[in-house]
Amino acid sequence: MIRDALVWCLVAVAAIAVVAVVALAARNRALGAKKQQSEGELRHQLHISDQQLQLARAELMRFTTDLDRTLQEAKEAAEENTKAVLKGAASFLQSLAAEQTTLLDDVQRKYGNHAVLSDLLEVNHANAQMARKAQGIAVMCGAPLGRRKRAASVYDVVRSAQGQIRNFHRVSIMQQTGLALKASAVAPVALAVAELLDNAASFSQHDAPIEITFQRVQNNLCIVIDDAGVSMNDEDRQRATELLSGNIVPRLSQLGNQPKFGFPVIGLIARQYGFRVDVTGVSRYGGVRAVVLLPEELWTVEETPPAYEAPVSNILRTEGRPQNGSRTTHGLPKRGARQAPIASVPDPESTPPAPRSAEEPSRFSGRSLGAFQRGTLSGRNLDATSLEGSEDA
Amino acid sequence: MPDEHEPEQELELTSPLVPLFVITNGRALPPDHQYEHTALVMAAEGASAMAGALSPEARQVLDLITEGFLSVAEVAGHTHLPVGIVRILLAQLEEDSLILVRRPVPRAERVDRELVSAVLEGLKNRFGA
């Protein structure tokens, strides 16, 4: 009995278990199908989102490029505007400074014998420095450089540059050459050399020498500037070379609060007028050696005549200078009875008479008197008022 | 930029290329009584040979006065330089003992009239004229 009951129980349990297993399996299958369905949906949604993201990203990219371009354009426009404004102002300053230099020169000649001359020389020095700065800004803004009409010796061009920096007496030009720069090259080379000298003076001790020499290398004329300052490191050298080549022109806004015009200005004018500048050398003092290399189109071998006719070569050599015997023991010339005390200067209007030998004793004193008169006349008649200033000086 | 360069009007620089203060190398003006208009200057014996690195202007002055004495005013006239500049150049040349200078005879100074009358007064008082 008990066994039957047990068997039935077992059968019942087994049946329940089978039913449960079947039910669970069915549920499991249903769940799997649902999962697969939702996975498919999710995947689909992910795909859509992905596509949206791609679109959004592309759009962002476009906006960024647009923004960059607009910014660039705005910067360039601002640069152009600033340049245009500055160019006008700088050109104005430049012409004013040039005018003032001319005026100052006239005033210096007018008050040539007055104590005020030394002050005028200083004012002119300050003015020359201002003119250089104005020229530099004008060049940076694309304005043309001032122009000179006459060719000039390279020595004078360098002296002109020398006058445009503060401590100009530190600069010594070691030699004079018979080489001249063509008129078109005078102003740009003077400005470039002035900027290099200013650089040399700023980066060396305030009393260190700056030496200028000239060299002819093949068809080029080199102006070599040696300073005794600190030499540049490789990075500085590379940067300087880039700027001096004129390939890289920094924006005005990149020049900083204490703008360094020097190298960019040199680079621009060197490129414009066709010469080269190199500062990578080492000077004999361990400082920087700057070389301005002028191709043969910019210079000639002929010596330019001086701006005024110097009577030097025309002086008559008839009177003969006092000989050694006519000196006192202290080396002073003796006032001989009829020695020729005055240098004779020819009358500029008339052709110089043929040199006469000193063997005409009867006319000797008359001739020297005539020469004296001519000399004093030609000496005083030449713009006497404007050259010598007021007599009450 | 070189393309824009042409049409624009270029500034013509008319001032002398070498400014006067560079010619004098920043030297100060000599005192008034030195190298007056009428002072006579002449190159020293063998000065041209001794003169090494003179500026063209100083060389020009030296060449002018090689032949004999010339007054300062005349030197200025011939070189077309202001008298003051010539005086500075002469001071430099004299320092290098390249020139001889013959200063003008100083003018006799006027006796102070008040002093003389005071002396006269005193004499009168002392000796009773």
Yes or no, beta carbons of B64 and A155 under 8 Å apart = no
Task: Compute the Cα dihedral for B73, B77, B78, B80 and give only its sign.
Answer: positive
**Residue numbers in B near A177 (CB within 8 A):** none
Mean pLDDT across A304-322: 45
Q: Is residue B8 part of a domain?
A: no
B 75-104 near A (Cβ less than 8 A) = 75-85, 87, 100
Taking alpha carbons only, the member of B94, B80, B97 closest to residue B23 is: B80
**Region of poorest pLDDT, from A11-15, A154-158, A292-296, A327-331:** A327-331
Task: Look at residue B104 in the predicted model and tell me its pLDDT.
Answer: 82
The per-residue pLDDT of chain A, averaged, comes to 81
Residue-level pLDDT at A114: 87
Tokens 């010796």, located at residue: A153
Judged by a CB distance cut-off of 8 A, whether residue B63 touches chain A is yes
What's the ipTM? Answer: 0.76
- Neighboring chain B residues of A121 at a CB cutoff of 8 Å: 20-21, 24, 26
| Strand blocks (E) in chain A | 152-153, 171-173, 180-181, 210-217, 220-227, 276-282, 288-294, 299-300
What pLDDT shows up at residue A40?
94
Confidence class for position B40, pLDDT limits 50, 70, 90? very high
pLDDT band at A389 (very low <50, low <70, confident <90, very high): very low
CATH of the domain at B39: 1.10.10.10
Give the N- to C-terminal CA distance of chain B in Å, as an integer.
96
> Residue B55 domain-assigned?
yes
**Minimum mean pLDDT range among A1-10, A96-105, A330-339, B39-48:** A330-339
pLDDT tens profile A165-198 = 999 989 999 888 889 999 999 999 999 999 999 9
Interface test with A, best of B17, B48, B54, B101 (most A CBs within 10 A): B17
B12 assigned to some structural domain: no
The rounded distance, in Å, linking the Cα atoms of A70 and B70 is: 75
Residue ranges making up the domain that contains B96? 18-127
Token duo for residue A265: 């200005």
Inter-chain residue contact A118 with B76, CB threshold 8 Å: no
Give the nearest partner residue to B29 out of A115, A155, A310, using CB atoms: A115
B14 touches chain A (CB under 8 A): yes
Rounded mean pLDDT, A86-92: 88
pLDDT in tens, A323-343: 444 555 555 555 544 444 555
Q: How many CB atoms lie within 10 A of CB A29?
A: 10
* Residue-level pLDDT at A379: 62
* Number of Cβ pairs < 8 A linking chain A and chain B: 195
Question: Which residues of chain A does B97 touch, with a Cβ-Cβ cutoff of 8 Å?
Answer: none
A221 forms bridges with which residues in the sheet? A216, A294
Q: How confident is the model at residue A85 (pLDDT cuts 50, 70, 90)?
A: confident
**Which residues in chain A have their CB less than 8 angstroms from residue B99's CB?**
none
Q: What is the pLDDT of residue B4?
A: 44
Calculate mean pLDDT across residues A266-294: 92
Number of domains composing chain B: 1
Rounded mean pLDDT, A28-53: 95
- Which of residues A161 and A323 earns the better pLDDT score? A161
Q: What is the dihedral sign for C-alpha A189, A237, A170, A213?
A: negative
Contact yes or no for B68 and A122 at CB 8 A: no
The residue ranges of every structural domain in chain A are 148-300, 312-374
- In order of A215, A292, A294, the CA distances from A276 in angstroms are 14, 6, 7
Residues of B in contact with A209 (CB under 8 A): none
Interchain pair B19, A91: CB under 8 A = no
Classify A148-300 by CATH class. alpha beta
Cβ-in-10-Å burial (0-12, 13-18, 19+) of B110 comes to exposed
Chain A residues closer than 8 Å to B67 by CB? 315, 317, 319, 321, 343-344
Each residue of A208-265: pLDDT tens digit? 999 999 999 888 999 999 999 888 888 888 988 988 988 888 887 777 777 778 899 9
pLDDT for position A350 = 47
